[in-house]
Chain A
């Protein structure tokens, strides 16, 4: 992978506590899986930065190489790769995601009933 691309990604996940690499934007997601990831974060009231990989083919491929993860969306919290849509959904359903955010010192609502 291009070092410039890797640096840009590294910078992004370093400067922002919660970063979602997704297709489209939170308001107009371009993929069902990105939409699900956005909904979960929004539902938890977590403030996040989103990166639309469709705007930049080098980031779209670069994030896959960077994370060693072949699909989008991808969530980073405090520089740590958390996972894609399935993992977020599983963690959300079991309440682990809420706990995870709290442990990381990120505001998230208690699990909705």
Chain B
């Protein structure tokens, strides 16, 4: 299973998201610090979840980081996160 699948699985389990998109952006970072042969280092996540309701930006991202703690310490070099609550996502 690839890292994008692992991220998706863990976030689905932990956030019960209304919407979730995981994009592997590793190929944008070829030759740059943190890039590894084979990629799987840079990811971008867009997620809409009720769990973000009432949380500030820092705590939303912490929630995502915590679910991916193991991966953040080993494989993932960079994780861009856009975390919205359902009401914000529908207002946008």
Residues of A within 8 A of B (CB): 23, 30-33, 68-71, 81-87, 90-91
Contacts and interface: CB of A to CB of B under 8 A. Distances in A.
A70 B77 CA distance: 10
Specify the main secondary structure of chain A where it touches its partner: mixed
B34 A87 contact: no
B32 A32 contact: yes
Interface of B: 29, 32-34, 57-58, 61-62, 65, 69, 72-73, 78-82
Given A86-B80, A87-B57, A90-B57, A68 B62 contact: yes
A86 B46 CA distance: 12
Contacts of A86: 61, 80-82
A53 to B, nearest CB: 12
B46 to A, nearest CB: 11
A80 B37 CA distance: 37
Contact of B33 (A23, A81, A82, A87): A23
Given A31-B33, A32-B32, A86-B61, A70 B78 contact: no
Nearest to A81: B58
A70 B57 contact: no
Contact of A71 (B29, B58, B78): B78
Contacts of A85: 80
B32 to A, nearest CB: 7
B33 A83 contact: no
A87 B58 CA distance: 8
A53 B79 CA distance: 18
Nearest to B68: A70
Contact of B78 (A33, A68, A83): A33
B57 A69 contact: no
B16 to A, nearest CB: 22
A71 B33 contact: no
